[in-house]
């Protein structure tokens, strides 16, 4: 199986330096997606577990992760990585003035484990045109400008 990630080149303005010209950056382009059914079938072929058992375990894992994160626990999935709740909040002038109401959003932070981190080091990259250019609709994505040379 190829370890190749496709990317397109997009122009992005620095919103802190609006007068500066845009710079061009790589943006990963997904080659597709893989869902629970496909993953369970692949796991079934790789070991002695039936795909229905894989689905059952993954659904139970999802429930346990939600429960653990909801209790403020760090969820460690071995070499896969670590999940932890992160918060976004409005600042307060003094620590004693900070209230839970200042918290505007909770999110899940993921830190890859060594297996995933090492896998990222061995990827190859291949340039493609943006999805908008491939579809021919010429659409943009906010402040992201499609690179016409891609």
- The tens place of each residue's pLDDT in the chain, 150 residues long, gives 568 999 999 999 988 998 999 999 999 999 899 999 999 999 999 999 999 999 999 999 999 999 999 999 999 999 999 999 999 999 999 999 999 999 999 999 999 999 999 999 999 999 998 766 666 554 444 444 454 444
Determine the Cα–Cα distance for residues 48 and 46; give it in Å rounded to an integer: 7
Residue 102 domain-assigned (yes or no): yes
Write down the pLDDT at residue 2.
63
Q: Which of 98, 69, 95 is nearest to 82 (CA)?
A: 69
Residue 18 domain-assigned (yes or no): no
Give the 3-state secondary structure percentages of the chain, helix then strand then coil, rounded to 5: 35, 30, 35
Residue 4 domain-assigned (yes or no): no
Return the structure tokens found at 125: 């990259």
Write down the pLDDT at residue 18.
87
Write down the pLDDT at residue 119.
92
Q: How many domains does the chain have?
A: 1
Residue 30 domain-assigned (yes or no): no
Structural domain boundaries enclosing 104: 73-112
Write down the pLDDT at residue 135.
67
Write down the pLDDT at residue 84.
98
The CA angle 126-146-9, to the nearest 5 degrees, is 25
Residue 103 domain-assigned (yes or no): yes
Residue 104 domain-assigned (yes or no): yes
Write down the pLDDT at residue 147.
47
Write down the pLDDT at residue 1.
56
Residue 140 domain-assigned (yes or no): no
Residue 84 domain-assigned (yes or no): yes
Write down the pLDDT at residue 137.
52
């Amino acid at each position: 199986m190829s370890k190749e990630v496709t990317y397109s080149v997009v122009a992005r303005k620095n919103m802190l330096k609006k007068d500066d010209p845009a710079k061009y950056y790589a943006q990963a382009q997904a080659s597709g997606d893989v869902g629970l059914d496909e993953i369970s079938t692949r796991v079934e072929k790789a070991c002695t577990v039936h795909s229905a058992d894989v689905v059952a375990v993954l659904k139970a894992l999802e429930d346990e992760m939600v429960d653990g994160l909801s209790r403020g626990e760090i969820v460690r999935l071995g070499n896969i990585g670590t999940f932890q709740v992160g918060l976004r909040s409005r600042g307060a002038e003094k620590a004693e003035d900070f209230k839970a109401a200042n918290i505007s959003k909770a999110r899940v932070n993921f830190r890859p484990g060594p297996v995933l981190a090492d896998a990222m080091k061995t990827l190859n990259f291949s340039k493609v045109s943006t999805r908008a250019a491939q579809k021919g609709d010429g659409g943009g994505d906010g402040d992201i400008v499609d690179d016409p040379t891609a």
